[in-house]
Amino acid sequence: MGTGKRLREILYYSCTPKSADEQGSPGERAQVPPAAKKAACIVKIIVDAKEKEQSGTHQAGPSQDEHGAPVNATECNMETVTASASSESPLAFKCPTGKTLLPAQHERVFEGRDGECGTEVALASLVDAELQPPRETAEETDVYTLKINKDPEHDTFMCYKCVAARENRPLSGPSMRSGAPEQNECLLKISVKGTSGAASSGDSSLVNSVFLLVGLGGVSYCSLLLR
């Protein structure tokens, strides 16, 4: 049917029996019953409308249910949940009922390179991506979609937190009863595969190390720059 844009159309074809002159051997006339002469089959074909496909890569979104909400969304329902995202596979995730997502601003995210996820940074500083909020549907859902517009050069790690809505912040203090940390938050660790793999150690910044040298003539200092 082609890849260009087309309008919705309805086509009809008619199938009719062969005439008496088309049946039998040459020179012979077949006897065709009157009913057969009138018999016909109408074929109806419906061609749906189609928008023109855009050139280049196409990012497929997550599967959606009848209400437009993504299905098979990752739920942050444990202490730590790991997931991955890419330009070809957006990540749909949600917090459990009674918990809210942090950072509250969709343009922010927690740095996940160190695994601690304690530093809040701009999402754009890590990867070209956007966090799409839950859709406003008749049946409200709490599913967020992390859409990666362009894969980063190196592997990138980020985090979100699902915390108790009444607190709107992670709680890590000791429990009054047991002295153990209260598990009132879920940590969602997300990895985004880079086009060049993991960053090499040579990409790190200069390190300034100071050595103390002690000699007979006194104390001197030497500053050494390492790459």
Say which range, 24-33, 62-71, 118-127, 162-171, has the weakest mean pLDDT.
62-71
Residues 189 and 79 in one domain: yes
DSSP sequence for 96-160:
PTTEEEESSSTTEEEE-TTSS---EEEGGGT-EEEEEPPP--SS---EEEEEEEE--SS-EEEEE
Residues 134 and 197 in one domain: yes
CA-wise closest residue to 198 among 227, 157, 146, 149: 157
CATH code for the domain in which residue 133 is found: 2.60.40.1320
Helical ranges in 154-211 per DSSP H: none
- Name the domain count of the chain: 2
Q: Is residue 85 part of a domain?
A: yes
Q: Is residue 187 part of a domain?
A: yes
What the block records as the tokens of 201 is 């150690």
Q: Is residue 128 part of a domain?
A: yes
Residues 122 and 44 in one domain: no
Say which range, 42-51, 102-111, 155-164, has the weakest mean pLDDT.
42-51
Q: Which residue has the higher pLDDT, 128 or 134?
A: 128
Give the residue numbers spanning the domain of 35. 1-56
Residues 42 and 140 in one domain: no
Residues 6 and 95 in one domain: no
- How many whole angstroms separate alpha carbon 182 and alpha carbon 202? 40
Residues 44 and 102 in one domain: no
Residues 37 and 88 in one domain: no
Contact status, residue 115 vs residue 199, Cβ threshold 8 Å = no
Q: Is residue 34 part of a domain?
A: yes
Question: pTM for this one?
Answer: 0.54
Q: Is residue 6 part of a domain?
A: yes
Interval 22-26 mean pLDDT: 57
Residues 120 and 182 in one domain: yes
CA-wise closest residue to 156 among 191, 131, 180, 125: 191
Q: Is residue 211 part of a domain?
A: no
Identify the pLDDT of residue 58: 38
Q: Is residue 149 part of a domain?
A: yes
Q: Is residue 141 part of a domain?
A: yes
Residues 113 and 44 in one domain: no
